[in-house]
Chain A
Amino acid sequence: NAGVTQTPKFRILKIGQSMTLQCTQDMNHNYMYWYRQDPGMGLKLIYYSVGAGITDKGEVPNGYNVSRSTTEDFPLRLELAAPSQTSVYFCASSYGSGGAGTQYFGPGTRLLVL
């Protein structure tokens, strides 16, 4: 049982490039989330999904897109990367919903946009 896995662990992007951050969970959780964490700050919700085929915006969705074609996978797409997207990205999943559920986090993807 690997829990929540994320790839890559670290990536450097040039301004304007695009990339997809991968997230997979093997706990059969319906709920999945993407957060970003800037240095010394808390986590901010980017997008979330309540089940396959259903996604919705969080607090800071601009510049990102998501899809949820399966229960296990929840990729985050960055289009036209900007320096402001330099951050650590965490994916999480939970059985219970949102604030009422226990979220299990992945190890994070560190992204540097230059």
Chain B
Amino acid sequence: LAKTTQPISMDSYEGQEVNITCSHNNIATNDYITWYQQFPSQGPRFIIQGYKTKVTNEVASLFIPADRKSSTLSLPRVSLSDTAVYYCLVGDRLGYGGSQGNLIFGKGTKLSVKP
């Protein structure tokens, strides 16, 4: 099972770009990398997903090097509302019966954005 490691916390200021890196040395060939955002007392919310190279959507970018042993979530120009915990998830497709679920969430990175 791929284990993920993230920084416990990060601080930033409004308007700055924030990069959060997740290490996943044992990532398997079929694993995808997904990032979720979680606010207190809420369920996680999908941010972005990728397999390799770079993916960009309207809220973030995801950089994945060729060896796929790490990934970096980039949040451009953060605001106070981006203060949350960010989770890196590594996992592949789940099969029918007999296979053990292998969706591994990291412990998350608590991002604090200051004015």
Contacts and interface: CB of A to CB of B under 8 A. Distances in A.
Contacts of B98: 56
A2 interface: no
A31 B49 CA distance: 17
A90 interface: yes
Given A42-B87, A97-B93, A99-B92, A108 B41 contact: yes
A22 interface: no
Interface in B40-55: 41-46, 49
A105 B43 contact: yes
Contacts of B71: none
B97 interface: yes
Nearest to A43: B105
A77 interface: no
A28 interface: no
A56 B100 contact: yes
Interface residues of A, number: 32
A105 B34 CA distance: 14
A108 B42 contact: yes
Interface residues of B, number: 33
Given A104-B46, A105-B43, A45 B96 contact: no
A106 B106 CA distance: 19
Given A42-B105, A58-B103, 12 more contacts: A33-B101, A43-B44, A56-B96, A56-B101, A59-B101, A98-B102, A99-B102, A100-B49, A103-B44, A105-B43, A108-B41, A108-B43
- 7 tightest A-B CB contacts, nearest first: A99-B91, A105-B43, A58-B101, A98-B94, A42-B105, A97-B93, A43-B105
Interface of A: 4, 31, 33, 35, 40-45, 47-48, 50, 54, 56-59, 90, 92, 96-100, 102-108
26 contacts: A35-B105, A42-B87, A42-B106, A42-B107, A42-B108, A43-B44, A43-B87, A44-B105, A47-B101, A48-B101, A54-B96, A56-B99, A59-B100, A59-B101, A90-B43, A90-B44, A97-B94, A99-B32, A99-B34, A99-B92, A100-B92, A102-B34, A105-B44, A107-B41, A107-B42, A108-B42
